[in-house]
Chain A
Amino acid sequence: MCPSKTQYRLKFITPEDDPEKGVAFLISKDRRITAKEGFDGLRENTERHFQSKFDYWLTGKPYPQGYHGWNQNQWQGKYTKCFVFTHDEEKVAQRFYGFLSNPKPSDRRYCICVLVRYARKVRHEIDETDLKIVEEIRISPEVQKTIDEYFKEKP
């Protein structure tokens, strides 16, 4: 008997009809994927901080204290598709790591940020582990297929 493949699905947290951008959780039993669980466990005030930051990213507001990606000069250019939303409070840094994707074949400008990992860290700690995991998940064929299926255009 074949072992069953890990199932993935997307759940949007921002309005799905936004013509330019969206933020969605990747949901799965895959233990590496913790973003949705982490988000659901946030304190009310922290959740509002992140919701505001998702809004700001959607509107294109420059806000490096709230979110950023990594360029070719960082981590040898391995994580240029990765993205993070950040919130620092009371010496605890909270992070939602994800990746960017342009999933609509007919509109390559449309961009989603797929949130994968949630992390609580000591402030200023630099840890590649989360980025490695996000990148592994990003390039997995099952995840790519999930995204493609979600945005498959109806004939």
Chain B
Amino acid sequence: MRTHWTARSIEDYLFRIANDFIVQLQNKMESKHISQDKLAKKLGVTKGAVSQWINRPGNIGLRKMIEYARALGMKLSIVAYEDGDPENKRGPIDSEIFRMCWEQLGRPRNFQAPHANAADNRVPFMRRADDVNKIFRDFKMLEESKGTLNDFLGCPLPISLGKIEGNKTNKEIKPS
């Protein structure tokens, strides 16, 4: 299998991930009806400078990325990850995918309760049955709840015992 074009050089890889970032900002500009002119004024630069940055994403530095994101009311994080493709045969994962997953998890802000901020506390669509099993095992309820496990995939995730007790669906499960 041939390698991905971003495996040719660091510059290629940098271009691609910077371009992913720019597309995110372009989408934000479009949704907020912010023109390049308006963004340039906000940043105190010329329209040409904004245009140049959009056309040559590989030249943008981290500091500028933060400035541009902040000007649009956004923030920036850097994510390192392993995707089982150490030789980069498939290219980087689009940063938009990370953003979407974070939003689907309810935009967590800490590690303690990753689902605590979820809009409806539902199990994320990608959560595997194994993960759900583990949660139930932690609460020593696996045996009692086996029959209703499938139901739980579409029901509120038990974050704490307090929540489980207060949850109508989970009341049917008696903790041992």
Q: Is A65 an interface residue (CB 8 A)?
A: yes
User: Chain B residues with Cβ under 8 A from A135's Cβ?
Assistant: none
| Given A55-B16, A61-B23, 11 additional A-B pairs, CB 8 A | A12-B2, A15-B2, A16-B2, A17-B1, A48-B12, A48-B16, A52-B16, A52-B19, A56-B94, A59-B97, A61-B96
Across the interface, name the chain B residue whose C-beta is closest to A53.
Answer: B19
Q: Contacts A48-B19, A48-B58 given: A61-B94 contact, CB under 8 Å?
A: yes
Considering only residues 95-144 of chain A, those with a C-beta below 8 Å from chain B are none
Asked if A51 is at the interface of the complex by the 8 Å CB criterion, the answer is yes
Residues of B within 8 A of A55 (CB): 16, 91, 94
Of residues 55 through 73 on chain A, the ones whose CB sits less than 8 Å from some CB of chain B are 55-56, 59, 61, 63, 65
Q: Report A-chain residues with C-beta under 8 Å of the C-beta of B56.
A: 45
Chain A residue nearest in CB terms to B17: A52
Contact in complex: B26, A45 (CB < 8 Å): no
Would you give 14 A-B contacts (Cβ < 8 Å), ordered by A? A17-B1, A45-B15, A45-B56, A45-B58, A48-B5, A48-B12, A48-B58, A51-B6, A51-B16, A52-B19, A55-B16, A55-B91, A59-B94, A59-B97
Chain A residues, CB < 8 A from B5: 48, 51
Query: Given A15-B90, A61-B94, A48 and B4 touching (CB < 8 A)?
Result: no
> How far is the CB of A118 from the nearest CB of chain B, in Å?
18
In the bound complex, residues from chain B placing their C-beta under 8 Å from that of A15 are 1-2, 4, 89-90
Most chain B Cβ neighbours within 10 Å, of A48, A61, A90? A48
Residue B133 is within 8 A (CB to CB) of chain A in the complex: no
* Alpha-carbon separation in the docked complex, A49 to B58 (Å): 10
A89 within 8 A of B: yes
Q: Is the CB of A49 within 8 A of B19?
A: yes
Select from chain B the residue with minimum beta-carbon distance to A46: B55
Residues of A within 8 A of B94 (CB): 55-56, 59, 61
Contacts of B6 in A (CB 8 A): 51
